[in-house]
Amino acid sequence: MEHTRDKPFTAEIALPGGALSAYDNHTLRRLSAMRGYFADAERYEQMLAASDIGLYEVYELHRPESSGELLHGTSILHPGKVGDEYFMTKGHFHAVLETAEVYYVLQGQGMMVMETPEGDWAVEELCPGRVLYVPPGWAHRSVNTGGEADLITFFVYPGHAGHDYGSIESQGFRKRVVERDGKPRVVDKARWRPQEER
Ligand code: S6P
Ligand code: ZN
């Protein structure tokens, strides 16, 4: 039987916005979807009561979720903080743990917080032009430390990877990125305290 192949295709990434010229899914993650993620729960509730702002957006092209495919798109993380903790993505392991991901930074400043189920952790700075390789087995979360600009990244990962949000949602990452004296600082999750208590 004759095999029907998809045709090659292209897309453009609009900057500074980060939208793909052609996409199938646009996800907007709002503050209300992030309850329990930020350390300062009180400040989180205050902000949410004032407005359910959008924290980040993802534009994706639909591809079959099979291992030969590469899922790709753009992630746009807006600037801001909940208390002293910078806006960030939820973060996840891939459901098929042993699958990697590549991020290319198009705009903005940030950090990628990563960790493994075995207890290793890593934080890499994200700046325009930088390529970050997230090896198989590492949970990953992007953080916008830029202050005013969106953090825009282009990502590519295997079609069969899937997402596992559960363990990060319940336990968080070992490290958080907070503002101290106007600068980003990586702190232990356990050591975090609201400003007033320090
Ligand atoms: C998917 C890839 C990104 C994130 C996006 C939002 O594997 O890592 O597209 O989905 O940055 O983050 P999250 O953690 O809410 O999916
Ligand atoms: Zn991922």
At residue 2, the pLDDT reads 74
Q: What size, in residues, is the chain?
A: 198
What is the per-residue pLDDT across 113-160, written as a single tens digit (0 to 9) for each?
999 999 999 999 999 999 999 999 999 999 999 999 999 999 999 999
For the chain, give the percent of residues with pLDDT over 70: 95
Structural domains of the chain, ranges and CATH numbers in brackets: 25-197 (2.60.120.10)
What is the per-residue pLDDT across 82-124, written as a single tens digit (0 to 9) for each?
999 999 999 999 999 999 999 999 999 999 999 999 999 999 9
Average pLDDT score over the chain = 95
Burial 47-68 (b: 16+ CB within 10 A, else e): bbeeeeeebbbbbbeeeeeeee
Q: Which residues are near ligand 1 (CB < 6 Å)?
A: 29, 58, 75, 89-92, 101, 140, 142, 155, 157
At residue 190, the pLDDT reads 75
**CA–centroid distance, residue 75 to ligand 2 (Å):** 11
163-to-6, 72, 96, 117 alpha-carbon distances in Å: 25, 14, 8, 15
Residues linked to residue 75 through DSSP beta bridges, in sequence order = 58, 153
Residue 68 to residue 58: CA distance in whole angstroms: 22
At residue 64, the pLDDT reads 96
**CA–centroid distance, residue 198 to ligand 1 (Å):** 33
